[in-house]
A = this chain, B = another copy of it.
Amino acid sequence: MAASEQSANKQYGGWNRRYKHESEVLGCSMTFTVYYPPAAEKGSVPVLYYLSGLTCDDQNFITKANAQRKASELGIALISPDTSPRANVPGEDDAMEVGSAAGFYLNATEGKWKQNYQMYDYIVKELPSVLSGLKGLNTQKASIMGHSMGGHGALVIGLRNPDKYAAISAFAPIANPSEAPMGSTALKAYLGDDKSHWKQYDATEIAKSYSGPGKKILIDQGTSDNFWKENLKPENFKNAAPKQLSVELRLQDGYDHSYFTMSTFIDDHVAFHAAQL
């Protein structure tokens, strides 16, 4: 279904436009925001997807990360989707790791989740189709990044669809969810007890058997991030990656899990994607 514009705010010469549309894949209304750089007024620009973390919606990245400054300069659109269906599934607000704002960018197969919680298909298939109906966006030239749960989403989606996304980057990604408490809780709820079904949504497991084309991956991890050692494990991902995946894992001294870290290094990420697009 076509997206209808809900609001527009000018920034750095371009526009943040928030849209609402009916998602067939998710069975509910969904909201997302696009930042259009000034260059989008004269032609179609590449798109950089940003997948947000637990508890977020489409606005956190748009209001706090300040990625628009570099995106304006380099002529890239930023695509900020929501983090889960908003389908009023009973109990979806009960836990931080499962349910609303915790869609984990996967296709659920279990119980009450399987009807609506199909965020993998939403991000990979339906959202690009909706975006292709908007002016100024070249959805054939795409790249993907994310934060925390969204870093997990970016790695999984990027590696499983290497021809769709030019590059991958992440801040503090949940990079090996099968081996981490929060990730395991989510994977179990959405995919069931059989861990063999979890591998398709675990970036470290995907990396182990990756046989696709070469791909550059940039990861920033703050050393004062309380989630780092127990729940994120980006080192596991780097160690598992075959040589055609060029993984740069940067440890940022004293930085935490917040958007203050992201704003500090976001210019590097936007420029990294621009160089691959």
Contact = CB atoms under 8 A, between A and B. Distances in A.
Given A10-B255, A64-B64, A254-B10, A260 B16 contact: yes
A263 interface: yes
A11 B264 contact: yes
A63 interface: yes
A10 B260 contact: yes
A98 to B, nearest CB: 27
A209 interface: no
Nearest to A15: B254
A259 interface: yes
For the residues of A in contact with B, the DSSP-based class is mixed
Interface residues of A, number: 22
Nearest to A9: B260
Contacts of A258: 9
A22 interface: no
A263 B9 contact: no
A173 B12 CA distance: 21
Contacts of A263: 11-12, 66, 68-69
A64 B59 CA distance: 11
A259 B66 contact: no
Nearest to A222: B10
B10 A261 contact: yes
26 contacts: A9-B258, A9-B260, A9-B261, A10-B224, A10-B254, A10-B255, A10-B261, A10-B264, A11-B260, A11-B261, A11-B263, A11-B264, A12-B263, A12-B264, A13-B264, A16-B260, A63-B63, A63-B64, A63-B259, A64-B64, A66-B66, A66-B69, A66-B263, A68-B260, A68-B263, A69-B263
Given A10-B264, A63-B259, A64-B64, 5 more contacts: A9-B261, A12-B263, A16-B260, A68-B260, A68-B263
Interface of A: 9-13, 16, 63-64, 66, 68-69, 222, 224, 254-256, 258-261, 263-264
